[in-house]
Structure 1
């Protein structure tokens, strides 16, 4: 089916006199044709149904607080999703090792198919959508209440990583939503969270971002950007040469100033790291060991990452 083997057929003859070298291939060819058409029909129906669910998820996210709350719940009920219950929105960031758009698109289809099959197998009726390299999942609380949303998504990421070894997966989780009218806000929370995820912490919940995550919203992004850039001073973000220094600074701050751990994460020698730290302190004209400076710089970089202003390649 579509140039892929999806099944096998064997003939077992109890009596060799029944074997006919000309008829058997004809039977096999006809059987293969009928089977592939039936399977393709079922596959097409399933893919169409999942695409429809994806479009519906887009409608939920875009509806906003002015959308018809009862209409959305009624539509969701028709596909077996109870949006009257609390739910979470998760964003999965897929990082591909090869920069090949056609391969990425094909891989995204396979990832979506895998998630759909997994959901059906586990009897979890979740909504799955896609935006750029992000996958969006809407999961009701009752489907994850035993394990909790973070362990549930962590298990999902582990399964995807084992199935698609050439792709790196990172997840962001919104806070719990009790009203479908706030689904758009929940999506933004999950998107904000996944921007801060890294190999050190692949799954980030919005609640774990603390007060910084709550303070950043569309109305104050420009103010946050202005304050954060002012804090970073002469370490200009628009200079490509400073990206590696920003990356070094961020990992150094996240590790609490631990030189050994930072050097290991950056694959640098201790002397090389000391040189970089000294250079950063010279540019900023600040002492990184000062707790107040340390805290302000870390929040500034995290804030810029959350609003998508910088990508320092920590994933």
Structure 2
């Protein structure tokens, strides 16, 4: 069978170009909705549908305005036209309008309810119940229509929605500036959002830029790592960083003093430090007369430039800072600088960690040498030979210092960590001074063997100040030996330091040379003779178990130590003059001696010092 079909064109004449109507079912709009979500994502779908509705509302608004009807009538006709589009089955609405004296719109509030929203039906069909209102096209239509007829940005916002589980779809129209932050997006944001293609191009450009940045950052990190692996120091990695970043960089200690830098002259480094210290109240913390920053990354705005600062942390301990000098940015975004500096800080931390390990290793080695010296385990000739390996000349004169300190650590672990910290700081201090020294512990006392010991008071004052910066509330007592010339006499030097420390009761420092005959007497090791002499001369004051006797012993020792000066003794013991006189009289009665007799007072003081050193009496 043969069939022929002839195609004839049927035309509808006289249809205006822009008035063509396209009939579409609600289901087709639902399909469009799901395809939009599939291709541009649910997050962007609300903007697309709002714009879609806006354009339809704008077109209908322009069409109705051609009729010349007053605004009030247009407000009535708009929802009717919206119903004819098939988007809704019905609407209840009310609009309150207020005008200025010149006839311009002052304020507008519209509210109402949509019935039979096609968007609710289709969203529920394809996406299910939503957490937020879903009538984006309806809101866009109302916003576009009202904004067009009033020539002012007006936003319709859906307050409740059946698609979000509410009983009805209620909405409100208000000027954009009145809504403020109550609307998810402004009209400008919704209408000016870039097309997805442009956004993809923008995203690609950003990804490309980020990839290039990550490549540069990785290359920067490799360069710094190479410097560290090859044993370079802080100055080398600062030079490497400055050359790569083309910006001045610095590495500072906790006091913000530059220890390595690149791209700065000596004068510029001094100016930078002065500018930093000048602004101490703004961003520095002062502790124990030492200025430190926090252990977080910071950016500080100075007069002519900004300083980006990142901490250098080694084993959770803050050791210093890395900073970059950069121009001021309007955006305030310094994330790239932070990332570069964090890599520099990591490299600096590795260098410092290596130095710390070498430092601790050498410190322990020197501590071991000190122990061997004091135990007389190594012959002098061997010591002189080994000294070259630890940069110590054992042929130099030296002093030994025995250091005691107040320590209230509760656990053995805390005590051990504290001793290790004190030992490290001590060795670090003398190393920074370029002073040859051996350090270690013996009988729970810190022992320092100081070679070429000139200006001892100046050195000890500076040492205690340095330790106080890191270990708060430290009270030191030191016993210092006489100058020894021969390393074979180190044991005697240690004994002298120990004796002097024992007698440093009301002084933070005592030299063995100040003891005179006391030191000689005790070194005789005639312990029994001293004890017998004390019992004969001190009588009941030597009864250390008796509290009253101990109190009188302390009073007598302080009185004799002050050369018989009542005022100084009263101040030291926190006694009244009458109370002190009463005690002195009682002591003279007990001892049957005149304490104003120089020979008597000198003999008693000598015996009492000997007892203190022998630990028979503890003050």
Aligned counterpart for 2:554 among listed residues 247, 252, 257: 247
Cα 1:187/1:276, change in 2 over 3 Å? same
Greater share of residues in strand:
2
Could you tell me which residue of structure 1 aligns to residue 399 of structure 2? Answer: 88
Cα 1:225/1:154, change in 2 over 3 Å? farther
Could you tell me which residue of structure 2 aligns to residue 118 of structure 1? Answer: 429
How much has 1:301 moved relative to structure 2? Answer: 0.9
Could you tell me which residue of structure 1 aligns to residue 254 of structure 2? Answer: none
Could you tell me which residue of structure 2 aligns to residue 6 of structure 1? Answer: 319
Could you tell me which residue of structure 2 aligns to residue 271 of structure 1? Answer: 578
TM-score (norm 2): 0.44
Query: Is contact 1:88-1:175 (8 Å) kept?
Result: yes
Query: Is 1:48 paired with 2:48?
Result: no
Whole-Å Cα distance in 2 between the matches of residues 289 and 13 of structure 1? 75
How much has 1:163 moved relative to structure 2? Answer: 5.8
How much has 1:253 moved relative to structure 2? Answer: 0.8
Whole-Å Cα distance in 1 between the matches of residues 398 and 334 of structure 2? 60
Which one has the largest radius of gyration?
Answer: 2
Matches within 5 A, 1:44-193: 44-63=357-376, 67-96=378-407, 98=408, 100-101=410-411, 103-141=414-452, 144-145=453-454, 147=455, 149-157=456-464, 159-160=466-467, 164-193=471-500
How much has 1:57 moved relative to structure 2? Answer: 0.5
How much has 1:74 moved relative to structure 2? Answer: 1.1
Whole-Å Cα distance in 2 between the matches of residues 182 and 159 of structure 1? 30
Could you tell me which residue of structure 1 aligns to residue 522 of structure 2? Answer: 216
Query: Is contact 1:150-1:205 (8 Å) kept?
Result: no
Query: Is contact 2:540-2:549 (8 Å) kept?
Result: no
Query: Is contact 1:94-1:133 (8 Å) kept?
Result: no
How much has 1:92 moved relative to structure 2? Answer: 1.8
1:155-199: per-residue Cα shift (whole Å, max 9, x none)?
A: 434554566451211222222222211111110011111111133
Query: Is contact 1:153-1:171 (8 Å) kept?
Result: no
Which secondary structure does the structure 1 equivalent of 2:405 belong to? Answer: strand
Which secondary structure does the structure 2 equivalent of 1:172 belong to? Answer: strand
Query: Is contact 1:175-1:206 (8 Å) kept?
Result: yes
Whole-Å Cα distance in 2 between the matches of residues 20 and 202 of structure 1? 51
1:188-246: per-residue Cα shift (whole Å, max 9, x none)?
A: 011111111133x4322222211221121263223223322332111112334433322
How much has 1:99 moved relative to structure 2? Answer: 5.6
Cα 1:38/1:269, change in 2 over 3 Å? same
Residue ranges of structure 2 left out of the alignment (5+ in a row): 1-313
Whole-Å Cα distance in 2 between the matches of residues 36 and 150 of structure 1? 35
Residue ranges of structure 1 left out of the alignment (5+ in a row): none
Query: Is contact 2:429-2:466 (8 Å) kept?
Result: no
Whole-Å Cα distance in 2 between the matches of residues 221 and 12 of structure 1? 69
Cα 1:300/1:219, change in 2 over 3 Å? closer
Matches within 5 A, 1:33-44: 33-44=346-357
Query: Is contact 1:175-1:205 (8 Å) kept?
Result: yes
Which stretch shifts more, 128-137 or 154-163? 154-163
TM-score (norm 1): 0.83
Cα 1:270/1:213, change in 2 over 3 Å? same
Which secondary structure does the structure 2 equivalent of 1:5 belong to? Answer: strand
Whole-Å Cα distance in 2 between the matches of residues 178 and 13 of structure 1? 56
Cα 1:291/1:79, change in 2 over 3 Å? same
Query: Is contact 1:91-1:136 (8 Å) kept?
Result: yes
Query: Is contact 2:499-2:512 (8 Å) kept?
Result: yes
How much has 1:28 moved relative to structure 2? Answer: 6.1
Aligned counterpart for 1:198 among listed residues 495, 498, 505: 505
Query: Is contact 2:374-2:494 (8 Å) kept?
Result: yes
1:64-122: per-residue Cα shift (whole Å, max 9, x none)?
A: 7xx511011111222111111222212122233x4645555444333323322221221
Which stretch shifts more, 293-302 or 131-140? 131-140
Which secondary structure does the structure 2 equivalent of 1:298 belong to? Answer: helix
Query: Is contact 2:363-2:424 (8 Å) kept?
Result: no
